[in-house]
Amino acid sequence: MNKAELIEVIAKSADCTKTQAGEALDGFCNAVTAALKKGDKVTLVGFGTFSVSKRAARIGRNPQTGKEIKIAAKKVAKFKAGKELSTKVAK
């Protein structure tokens, strides 16, 4: 499912226009992004938790040459599915 398809589903289930559904989805994404940038978690009970994890610097290898390269430390976004979502997907 892509963003346009998701907007269409949201519009139908919320009985609103696609424009309104798109704005709501963009607002949700912006709010989650802002919270993660601040280092906060976003928890949606039953659905899951968005969080930020720190990935340590490490040494990797260029697969073409085999030469060692340094990979810098960075922060990455994570999502952990909630229990309710996990059980619904498993069925």
CA distance 12 to 1: 15
The predicted-structure confidence for 26-76, as pLDDT tens digits, reads as follows 999 999 999 999 999 999 999 999 999 999 999 999 999 999 999 999 999
Confidence of residue 91 (pLDDT cuts 50, 70, 90): confident
Confidence of residue 13 (pLDDT cuts 50, 70, 90): very high
Looking at residue 69, its pLDDT comes to 94
